[in-house]
Structures are given as structure tokens and as C-alpha cells.
Amino acid sequence: MEEPLYLLETILYDPNEGFYLLDLHLARLTRSAKDFQYPEPNGTCIKDLLLAQVPLENPQRVRLLYDIHGNTTIEYTTLPIESINSINTLDDQTTLKLNTQSPLKIVLDTQATLTVGQLTIQHKTTHRRVYTAARERTHAGTSDVFDVVLWNTNNQITETSIANIAIGKRSQQGNYIWKTPSLDCGLLPGVFRRYLLDQGKMVESKITTDDLIKAQQDGDTIICFNSVRKIYKVYLDVA
């Protein structure tokens, strides 16, 4: 029997900032509900529910689940205060800070994934078989491999199993030009991705698997990001 499909938003609660990027999360949830023909979410009610159910003294990783009947379920996990990442933009000072981080190891998936036109790729839901399969193929999360990069049947990278991805190349003027895969490659429109694009900090582009390998070999900066971890540096294992 098919498991029920919940729309999903994973939200960072920081006592200093509140529910991070909450309006962008609710906007995405509303778009998802429309495409799946779920009842339209009531943003005010959801905000009230979050305030009533989530402990506000400590940082929390909040899972907001929204079902076919328009019911909202809130789950949360307390985070250590030291786990809250302050890197949330892509100016030159931030890039210098990123380059002092110890990067996390990522690998390319061993096979292409059909992602274009898939509703459960274009929207965040509890149906994550595509991502789970990629992690299992590459042993991501169970070895020294932190995450896996998915790619489509056109050899274009899309995202990792838990984050969006971008490449930063230093220009002749010394500033960084950041590129992230285009939505039409077949990927989740991440909330933090939207935030960075709206800031004008990066542009969308078609990035092939060969482009990603070359970026690693050339010493370009590769980052991943989502609205809980924010921005963190990674390196591609090309061995």
C-alpha cells in the first residue's frame, strides 16, 4: 500500500532570529499544495501552531508536515547552539571565511536519475526514494562520504540528497561568480537557494558532471546550502 504523501518544510528555529526564512517556506508550501491539489495552507494558523508547539528556548530543527486534508503536523529536534551556522550570504568576506573551513566530502552518484518533470523532485515531500537510493548507492552518510550529487539524463548536476549546490569561480577582478543548477535541470527549488538568488549573489546555469569535476580540479570553491545548515564548503572526490 502506498504511503501517504505529506508536503514537507524543514525549518530552522533560532532563538535569535525566530523561524528562519519562514515566509519563503510558507510560500513554497502554498505552491506545492496548489500543484498537488491539496487545500490551500493558512499561513497565520501555521505560524500560530509553530509558536504554540515548538520550544522557543533553544535552536530547533522543525519538520512541518502538511497532508491531503490540509492538516498540519509539527515535529522538532533540539540542536546544539554551536551547530548554528552564521554563514548565510555570499559576499567576498564570507567566501574568505568559507575557504578556512574543512570541507565535507561529496561524490557523484553512480547513475543518472530521471528528475525533470517529477513532482516529488520539484516539491519537498516525504516521498524521498530518489534521494535515499542515491545515498545507498554511494554509501553517503555511512562512511567518510557526507553526501551525494545527483545528475540527470543529460549529465547535468541537479542537487545533493539534502541540499542545493553551487560553484564559485574567482574572476579576474578578484570577486567570486557563483553558479547553481537551473530549475529546469530537475531539482528542488530550495528556500535558501531562492534567498541567495533574490539577493543577487548567484545565477542559474547548466552545470554538467564534467564541469563539476573540472571545478574541483581547478581549485574552484564548491558549496552546498539549505535553510537549516545554511552555507558550507564541500569537495568532490574525483578519485
The CATH 3.30.470.10 portion of the chain extends over 7-83
Task: Give pLDDT < 50 ranges for the chain.
Answer: none
Residue type for 121, please?
A: I
Q: What is the pLDDT of residue 50?
A: 99
Q: Where in the chain is the domain with CATH 3.20.10.10?
A: 92-236
Whole-number pLDDT of residue 1:
56
7-83 CATH: 3.30.470.10
**CB-count burial class (<10 Å; 0-12, 13-18, 19+) for 174:** exposed
pLDDT score of 83: 87
Q: Kindly state which CATH superfamily the domain 92-236 is placed in.
A: D-amino Acid Aminotransferase, subunit A, domain 2 (3.20.10.10)
